[in-house]
Structure 1
């Protein structure tokens, strides 16, 4: 199929100035693999975007406050632990691979609720084992679209890629494979899934 339409100049996502949330990307590994944190290429990454209106990161921190004699009785705060999570909200979109996968986890417990997440935050790929929690794939008023929400809880320390990440869409729409070029410095992802081919 020919590609003969291009984006109108000025409608691109800005790469300088005020950062827009839409520049970030969120993917879920639909292979149920939460053990392999050494190789991103083993995943099938479903883009969680269709029907999604909000993605909000937050960090739960454990801190220890201690007052030392040489600090005149004032506390010194040390971060001793940290966990990250992404709160995702939107409307249910039937047939979307990422949403359909998450919908299948609403009753899951234990390892069945675990997989991997890829969050591209202002161009930086962040990969982590995760647990899909508070999965709510339906609900709301009778005359409204169904609600869709979940919290993606990161497990352990997240990682990034060792080189340039390329995401390529498979023959199944909105599911991508990942490749990393270790000889090229890590930069914002390129390939068939960039800002000029996001719809």
Structure 2
């Protein structure tokens, strides 16, 4: 594990540059596509960092594909069922990691395009009518919480935790959703706490980047 050398606040742009440098250095040792998982609590800025890091990698002439884990939310489970789950069960079931691996990560690792129907609130089966296609690339960024579940680590080459104080993450989440989202926090905050304390504590990551 490597902590942010500044031990404090860092801008998203500086963090993205760090992430791109880590990926470029590590990926150069692989003859196949290289998968990096950006994990962190809700509101940590993972998606923004993934996009910025991809821009930095493009400047370094390293083609990058981004897979958003939120596209694989398991909508087959109702809120009532979620509330009967333990925190560990929520961590393992929140995202359909088997579909994520089968439809996105394994094809990309094989140098093929990945095509999948992302999660949608607007359809009966909660999958968008139109598929997302991700073109193969030398570097693959997996963006989202639960991206370093133990069940995924056999295809993850580099794990990076984005740490942001909980009060800042919660404020960002609420601003993004334009709501206090009390029910969401009641249902999911304990699961996130369990995930980052029991399943994937900071010490289990290859790198930890601290942001204020």
Whichever of the two has the greater Rg, that structure is 1
Q: Which of the five TM-score ranges fits, normalised by the shorter chain?
A: under 0.3
User: What TM-score, normalized by structure 2, do the two folds share?
Assistant: 0.27
Q: Specify which structure has the higher proportion of strand.
A: 1
Higher relative contact order by CA 8 Å / sep ≥ 6: 1 or 2? 2
- TM-score, length of structure 1 as denominator length: 0.28
